[in-house]
Structure 1
Amino acid sequence: MYKILANTVFLGKDIHFLTECHSTNDLAIQKIKKKELAEGSIIITDAQTRGRGQRGNRWWSEPGKNLTFSLVLTPYFLDPSEQFDLNVVVSLAVVQALSEYVYELKVKWPNDILHEQKGKIGGILIENILNQKGIEVSIVGIGLNINQHMTALPFSTSLADLTGREWDKWEIFKIIIQKIEKNYMLLKRGQKQQLRSLYLDKMYRFGMRATFNDGEIFQGKILGVGESGKLIIEKMDGSHNHYAFKEVKYL
């Protein structure tokens, strides 16, 4: 099923398919340490038994129904302080790809893909290995609900739930990889601000007054994301507050 991708420059020229594995990110890290993967390599599985989200959160996926894969990048051109730009590249690409099938998809900072009305459709986990020169390698894990019905999970959805039909996972996978490569090459060519602008256009609750909790419940407006990836929210008193992951909750 998963063949070498013909319409990409370097992503997907080396694809490792497993019927089942604990975590594609963990397996990618193991193979990288053994020098078995190069930039552009992808590990994909039909059944991920111990998938991880941000900060060790579990990601459960019904076998054979969804897309769960990890790809390898070597963004040597980025400073470690610019790691969030990879998140911009990937999350924007996923939304761009899935928006060919359904409307109202957004990036919920820092790593969720969701439908504004129906809830979360997927997530992204990027793990970077650093050396003295900077970012040595990045492992980009992506989990997307495609044909799994999510009725048992609150504020979760799938492409099938949103459209009322099942989809060819391989075709969606190819589009996602092409979009990621395109955005990655833009970043490599220095088009950071263009990507940031596109990202903000797809950002959940950007520029809208909404309710948050940072230890206290407050009304605020998302102004954007800082260079280091912190969420910038303007409170009603006019103060600008910068939040790292899990320092603030959407309500």
Structure 2
Amino acid sequence: MYIIKLNAIDSTNTYLKALSVKKMPKDYTVVVAEEQTNGRGQLGTKWQSETSKNLTFSVFKEVRCLNVNEQFFISIAVALGIVKALRELQIPKIKIKWPNDILSENKKIVGILIENVIKNNRLEGSVIGVGLNVNQKFFDNLPNASSLHLLTGIVYSKDEVLHVLLKHIQDYLNTLTSSNFKDLKSEYEAMLFRIKKPSTFKSFNGETFSGFIEGINDDGKLKLLLEDDIRKEYDLKEVQLLY
């Protein structure tokens, strides 16, 4: 891996995307920042992180082996790689909150933002942004957030945690070339937060409703069983799983 370390940047994803416009970065180019002044989450949300306490980094992966309609498997591979890394670090009770937040003890510790580079309707590369709360102790107005330190009491070396994360993320991303998507999807579904449990959802017009998560389809849409045995599929812009 080729690792670029920065003190401060607006966004590691933005930095890598700018590089990819000029020339595709080397596979597994990694940009790590001590501080992001404009860190981003899903659907335009802001990623809040205390300076020097957490890991904020982005990875560039060449993904020409995938078709455009297979791009959610990048998200699956990254989420599963992070889960494997957190298990190695002995973080308890890990789950994936659809589509790719990572929880421990039902608290969010990892956010993932994936932005794909598509040219002429072909996948070229993927910019994978990861924010992991490592040693932060206080989260203002974020009742569902936690950190590795709060969960275990350990003060972590960020470089050591980064090494473990990158190792497992790379291992899972490398499996995408084998097109063994069925096993990846099954492993991901087994880790889903609230799978097969009665759960509450909010549509993006503000309405709340109940249902059971049955899994995902190959496009990454959430498969729900609703009242009267009605089954529906929702994408990220259509529904939010509440805690």
Question: TM-score scaled by structure 1?
Answer: 0.90
Using the alignment, how far apart are the partners of 2:216 and 2:161 within structure 1?
Answer: 28
Shift of 1:44: 0.5
| Residues 1:247 and 2:235 aligned together | no
Aligned counterpart, 1:9: none
The letter for the 2-side match of 1:65 is: K
Aligned counterpart, 1:96: 84
* SS of aligned partner of 2:109: strand
> Is contact 1:121-1:145 (8 Å) kept?
yes
| Residues 1:237 and 2:228 aligned together | yes
Q: 2:183 aligns with which of 194, 200, 203?
A: 194
Using the alignment, how far apart are the partners of 2:156 and 2:105 within structure 1?
Answer: 21
The letter for the 2-side match of 1:28 is: L
* SS of aligned partner of 2:228: coil
* SS of aligned partner of 2:117: strand
| Residues 1:207 and 2:196 aligned together | yes
Shift of 1:37: 1.9
Using the alignment, how far apart are the partners of 2:138 and 2:104 within structure 1?
Answer: 13
| Residues 1:76 and 2:67 aligned together | no
Aligned counterpart, 2:111: 123
Q: Compare 94-103 and 154-163 and name the one that shifted more.
A: 94-103
* SS of aligned partner of 1:19: strand
Identity %: 38
* SS of aligned partner of 1:58: coil
Structure 1 runs (4+) greater than 4 angstroms displaced: none
Aligned counterpart, 2:217: 226
**How large is the RMSD of aligned CA atoms in angstroms?**
1.4
Structure 2 unmatched ranges of 5 or more = none
| Residues 1:184 and 2:173 aligned together | yes
* SS of aligned partner of 1:143: strand
Q: How many residues align?
A: 238
* SS of aligned partner of 1:175: helix
> Is contact 2:36-2:56 (8 Å) kept?
yes
**Which aligned pairs between 1:14-33 and structure 2 lie closer than 5 A?**
14-33=2-21
Deviation string 1:28-65 (CA, Å, 9 cap, x unpaired) is: 01111222721110111111111001121101111111
> Is contact 1:116-1:204 (8 Å) kept?
no
